[in-house]
Chains A and B, each alone.
Chain A
Amino acid sequence: MTDKLICPECGAENVEDAEFCHFCHADLKGDTTVEFIDPQQNDQDDFGLLNGKEEDLTDILHALKQTEEEAVLADETQEDQLPIDEPEDGFDEGEAQEDEGIPDWLHRIRQRATEEDDSLGEITQKISAAKESLKGDKPEEQHENFESWIEKLRGPVGGFVNKEPDAAASDDAFDEKDEEIQEKEPDWLQKIRVAEGKEIVQDDQESLDHGENSLLNWLAALEDSEEDTAEVGDEPDLVDEDMESESVEIDESAETREIPIDETPLYEAIPPKLTITKEERNQADQLTSMILDENAPRPVRAIKRRSKLGAARFFFAILLILSMSLSLFIGGTTGNQSGPIQPHTAGFLSWISDLEESSSILLVFDYQPAYASEINLVSTPILQSLVSKDSEISLISSSVSGTILQRQLLGEIHALETDSIVDLGYFPIGAYGAFGLGMVTSANWQIVGLPESSKALPDGGFDSILILSDTAEGVRTWIEQLTVLMPDIPISLVVTAQSMPMLVPYFDSGQITGMVSGLNDGVILESELSTGILIGNRRRAYQVGLVMLAAIMVIGAVNAGNQNHEEGGAA
């Protein structure tokens, strides 16, 4: 047994005569000496990946977080707790709470880590269990197993390190790089090292090699360095002698204390045998595979610099707005639709022309305000026609803003004043689909005592149904639902151009009688129904916009082709 000092601040081990903690520089005078574990055993523990110093990534990140938070703590004022002391809702709030200082849970972890065996969660408990088994009777075998396991880790890591031999080969290069590291080394990396109890300079070169790939590489590399230390007989916690001599200056500047190195070999490289459970093996394998996965060669793509994206958008915005404005405000209207009328449009036209006077129509509003301009453009002439035929219109909305949009659309054609319009309200069909709503009227029994609470869809009494929607899925839900409730009533659609291709099958299958979408169908409807000019010179602007997009796509493709060609030539 050897006496060691446990730092009251951070829990790190220190040699018995140390005055300050080598980890956190806390004053150790007056601390009681505690009996600690056998040094040889200690070495064995530290040697393996499953050491007891919380060296898994999670704990390192915990430590990192703590350091960050401590740093911010000084600047932050305490924030009042909200009634529900719960996770944060805004993006910011959480950070603010993080900044309040070391969070409670981290405190608890750290406190429990020093007090309880089971405080670090399941995996750590398993690790502790494995450690306990290490303390058992066959140290040689344990070492053997650990070594083979670490060999598995080291292979790809070593491979990765070897990818950059030039950097380490030249001393000059090393020095230059070292300086660069000092400059570029991010705070978090230093914090990790502080948390790890490593000297900052000790593994600079290693971090350069590993750090760019991932933290896990770096971790695996740490294992390598620890093993090296052990092999030369140094105490694992201490600075490698060679490295120390190379970095004396920086060590001094970092105000690190010189720590005496125990010259007696604390560790004999006798491979131990480890007996671990299947579950522990699985966890170890999982960790191994995770580290191997991190090290696996990946097709790393160079991040494309998008700094010119804003400028490009500005350029295209100017181009589009200017050309649209010129088309809208200068020049007259364009002619009628050129090209064949598509079958679903023809179906819609015949539906509306066959509609009798004073028919009863169910009008479904299933679109968002964003698409109102497009839907209104097409549906205005239709609604004008319906109103002129004295149709009785029942309104249902299934979009959040449906009731508002009803009023906007009907208000524009001054139809709100008529008595023939009935509002049936909002149906949350989007929540789960109207599946259940449709079934209620078709059932032949009821649950005893169940109140008439739900809003049931009407199951008939209409001559026709018109759905105004911006999404194919909304239309689909309604078609499926209404077909169950009112199988014989014809359904027609006014939809957006983007959802139209997905809805053609419903016309093919005969589930809908007709469908119109987009400005071109609006033009046809205007001319067929002889309503007021709404489309006007919008069509010219629309055509200009579409042609512009086609041209830009082609130019972009040619440009990309040329660039590729040039790059190929240069290569």
Chain B
Amino acid sequence: MTFSYEILWIVFSFLLTLMVLSYLLGDNIFFRFASHLFIGVMAGYVVLLISNQILWPYLVRPIVNGTLPGVLWLGIPVVLIFMLVLSQFKGLTWIGSLPLAYMAGLAAAIAVGGAVFGTLLPQSRAIVDSFDPAMWYAVPNQTWFRILDAVLMLVGTVGTLSYFHFGRKRKSMTEEDLEKRPAILEGLSKVGQVFIGISLGAVFAGVFSSSLLALIDRLLFIGQFINNLFRSF
């Protein structure tokens, strides 16, 4: 076998693959070694990525190349960053509230906006649009499928939403009643449970498919490596 740069990496990958797959036999020192190596590399990589792709273009370059007003503008994030760093020291934790309030305000507003304009409205609209008669008759032989699809979509979504209702039945006579929603919603939630189960089942198949392809990829890699190894001797 000719020793070359590529082969070095292939051997390295092969060893790492075996070390990680050895976890199937239980936690062991090889897996731990690979894990720590991986964490170290990723930590180093993320530091470089942030320095290269965030701090440099968003902060350092504008300060170095920018005009005075621009640099003054950047004073605000610099102060926030300084406070964030300072708050990591003992006794100065309280300083961190300000930059964290900034991040929390931003995250909360994006959550609110994203929830309403990104999820609630578009998803509701999609359900409503499926009741458009023009869509039902668009394809001649599929009218009944389209109607069934729309009705199921409505019933299933309403049922799923009912399943998540927090409030409980007002007149709770037994221990079991304490777990129940108000009567109508309880009935709908049974339908919702079925649809949730169907969705999770299908997604589970997808998750397994993805991981199975990863396993196949690794087995092929190992097989090819061993095959090449034997051929080279």
Contacts and interface: CB of A to CB of B under 8 A. Distances in A.
B9 to A, nearest CB: 12
A451 B73 contact: yes
A570 interface: no
Contacts of B25: 314
**A interface residue count range (under 10 / 10 to 19 / 20 to 34 / 35 or more):** 35 or more
A455 B216 contact: no
A interface, by DSSP: helix, strand, loop or mixed? helix
Q: Which among B26, B70, B71, B202 has the highest number of chain A CB atoms within 10 Å?
A: B70
Given A320-B215, A328-B216, A542-B212, A453 B62 contact: yes
A311 to B, nearest CB: 10
A433 B24 contact: no
Contact of A505 (B65, B66, B110, B126): B126
Interface in B35-93: 45-46, 49, 53-54, 57-59, 61-62, 65-74, 88-90
B107 A455 contact: no
A496 interface: yes
A425 to B, nearest CB: 6
A497 B110 contact: no
A396 B153 CA distance: 36
Interface in A513-558: 518-519, 538, 541-542, 545-546, 549
Contacts of B15: none
Interface string B116-159: 00100011001001000000000000000000000000000000
Given A400-B49, A476-B118, A508-B126, A329 B223 contact: yes
Contact of A497 (B45, B61, B67, B209): B209
Contacts of A84: 88-90
Given A314-B25, A432-B107, A451-B62, A374 B210 contact: yes
Nearest to B73: A450
A187 B213 CA distance: 50
A370 interface: yes
A310 interface: yes
Contacts of A500: 206
B interface, by DSSP: helix, strand, loop or mixed? helix
Nearest to A374: B213
Nearest to A548: B212
B101 interface: no
A497 B214 CA distance: 12
Nearest to A320: B215
A448 interface: yes
A499 interface: yes
Interface residues of B, number: 54
Interface in B205-226: 205-210, 212-217, 219-220, 223
A501 B202 contact: yes
A545 to B, nearest CB: 4
B214 A498 contact: no
A287 interface: no
A401 B26 CA distance: 28
Contact of A451 (B70, B90, B206): B70
Contacts of A325: 219, 223
Q: Which among A371, A447, A470, A497 has the highest number of chain B CB atoms within 10 Å?
A: A497
A425 B53 CA distance: 8
Contacts of B66: 451, 453
Contacts of B219: 321, 324-325, 328, 541
A370 B214 CA distance: 8
A435 B112 CA distance: 13
A335 interface: no
Contacts of A270: none
A310 B23 CA distance: 11
Contact of A498 (B67, B113, B207): B207
Nearest to B65: A451
B216 A541 contact: yes
B114 interface: yes
Nearest to B42: A400
A498 B210 contact: yes
Interface in A265-292: none
A237 to B, nearest CB: 39
B29 interface: no
B53 A509 contact: no
A498 B220 contact: no
A497 B206 contact: yes
A497 B24 contact: no
Interface string A405-445: 00000000000000000000110100011010000000000
Given A84-B88, A505-B126, A546 B74 contact: no
B58 A432 contact: no
Contact of B216 (A371, A496, A538): A538
Contacts of A426: 49, 53
A317 interface: yes
A496 B88 CA distance: 39
A468 interface: no
A426 B71 CA distance: 24
Interface string B95-114: 00000000000110010011
A302 to B, nearest CB: 19
B203 interface: yes
B208 A542 contact: no
B135 to A, nearest CB: 10
B206 A449 contact: no
B199 interface: yes
A451 B24 contact: no
Given A497-B210, A509-B126, A448 B202 contact: no
Interface string A283-321: 000000000000000000000000000100110010011
Contacts of A433: 110, 114
A317 B24 contact: yes
Nearest to B68: A449
A432 B90 contact: no
A364 interface: no
B216 A542 contact: yes
Contacts of A403: 49
Nearest to B53: A426
A58 interface: no
Given A86-B88, A453-B57, A538-B220, 11 more contacts: A313-B24, A320-B215, A321-B215, A371-B210, A435-B110, A449-B72, A454-B57, A455-B57, A501-B206, A509-B129, A538-B213
20 contacts: A84-B90, A314-B24, A324-B219, A325-B223, A328-B220, A428-B54, A432-B106, A449-B68, A450-B69, A451-B70, A453-B58, A453-B74, A497-B207, A501-B206, A505-B122, A505-B123, A509-B129, A545-B215, A546-B205, A546-B208
